[in-house]
């Protein structure tokens, strides 16, 4: 495809994927774990743009750029090659510019969110829309979290990540994300789990009328990976305890396989809590935004 045939799509926000609850319900013969999770996508994320280039490549900026490789194994470039193959078009001569604002390997799906943002950009830039089921297959081939990140809407995620059901709108509230700057290996967390066959989440209500209703529901759920992560990385425990000490935080928990943790607060209170945590732990990454 010639460069002149390409559109110039608007920047894409690759939103962090937060597991408000994460139940590990089994393991398939191929090693993939079965999940039941309630996920949300606050307006906190990386920013991805693309522009015409001489070949397919990736440029990195932002506070976490140095932690990410721009080589051909990067998931954004894999997304472009896989999309082109599925669409039956040549590999595009595009430069992706990624502003990496989210910590890497931190339990909030930042790589998957970047890949999903690349798929959205590619459809517009190349003027090629894949059928929904074909696009979903491309997304899943890139990683279990990519399909839900492609939609970037609150959802119940099942199977290995491919079974998606819309979740009720989130109540008016703030979410606070905190990462201690320590990486945790997801395979190591899975290996350290005491049980991989746990009960599913309880039925999700039709509505979350308020933060208190959401918190009441979440108190009957878990993150089944949190215990193993805390044993491997005591910093996770420290983050959760720091969040719980703030009287603005209604509930605190780890997201994904860690080490990023979240706290939920009444609307307008998240920034205050974030400021306090930054003052006592200046080396931690802290971000806040409305939950919905």
pLDDT tens, position by position, 66-114: 988 777 789 999 999 999 999 999 999 999 999 999 999 899 999 999 9
Where is pLDDT greater, at 1 or 263? 263
Q: Mean of the pLDDT values across residues 160-170?
A: 96
- From the candidates 36, 46, 114, 145, give the one annotated as an active-site residue: 145
Whether the Cβ atoms of residue 73 and residue 16 lie closer than 8 Å to each other: no
pLDDT tens, position by position, 237-290: 999 999 999 999 999 999 999 999 999 999 999 999 999 999 999 999 999 999
Q: Which domains does the chain have, with CATH numbers?
A: 3-166 (3.30.230.10), 173-290 (3.30.70.890)
Tokens (6 digits) for 34: 């079965």
Select from 67, 25, 287 the least CA-distant residue to 157.
25
145 flagged as catalytic:
yes
Whether the Cβ atoms of residue 25 and residue 199 lie closer than 8 Å to each other: yes
pLDDT tens, position by position, 195-237: 999 999 999 999 999 999 999 999 999 999 999 999 999 999 9
17 flagged as catalytic:
yes
- How would you classify the pairing of strands 173-179 and 261-266? antiparallel
Nearby residues of 154 by Cβ (< 8 Å), 6 or more positions away: 38, 39, 40, 41, 166, 167, 168, 169, 170, 292
Select from 18, 47, 58, 41 the least CA-distant residue to 178.
18
- Give the residue ranges of the annotated binding site for ATP: 103-113
Whether the Cβ atoms of residue 265 and residue 250 lie closer than 8 Å to each other: yes
pLDDT tens, position by position, 37-51: 999 999 999 999 999
**pTM greater than 0.85:** yes
Kind plus residue range of the DSSP H or E element containing 126: helix 110-126
């Amino acid at each position: 495809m010639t460069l002149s045939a390409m559109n110039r799509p608007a920047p894409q926000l690759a939103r962090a994927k937060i597991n408000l609850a994460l139940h590990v319900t089994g393991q398939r013969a191929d090693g993939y774990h079965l999940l039941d999770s309630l996920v949300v996508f606050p307006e906190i994320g990386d920013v991805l743009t693309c522009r015409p280039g001489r070949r397919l490549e990736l440029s990195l900026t932002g506070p976490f750029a140095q932690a990410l490789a721009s080589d051909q194994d990067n998931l954004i470039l894999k997304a472009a090659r896989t999309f082109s193959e599925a669409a039956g078009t040549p590999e595009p001569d595009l430069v992706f510019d990624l502003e990496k604002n989210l910590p890497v390997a931190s339990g909030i799906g930042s790589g998957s969110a970047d890949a999903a943002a690349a798929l959205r950009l590619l459809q517009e830039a190349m003027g090629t829309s894949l059928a929904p089921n074909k696009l979903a297959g491309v997304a899943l081939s890139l990683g279990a979290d990519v399909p839900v990140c492609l939609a970037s809407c609150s959802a119940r995620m099942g199977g290995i990540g491919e079974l998606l059901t819309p979740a009720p709108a989130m109540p008016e509230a703030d979410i606070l994300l905190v990462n201690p700057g320590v990486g945790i290996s997801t395979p190591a967390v899975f290996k350290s789990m005491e049980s991989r066959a746990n009960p599913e989440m309880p039925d999700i209500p039709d509505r979350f009328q308020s933060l208190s209703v959401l918190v009441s529901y979440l108190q009957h759920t878990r993150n089944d990976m949190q215990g193993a992560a805390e044993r491997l990385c005591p910093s996770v425990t420290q983050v959760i305890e720091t969040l719980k000490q703030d009287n603005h935080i209604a509930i605190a928990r780890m997201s994904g396989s860690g080490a990023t943790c979240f706290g939920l607060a009444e609307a307008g209170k998240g920034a205050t809590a974030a400021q306090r945590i930054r003052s006592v732990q200046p080396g931690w990454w802290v971000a806040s935004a409305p939950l919905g």
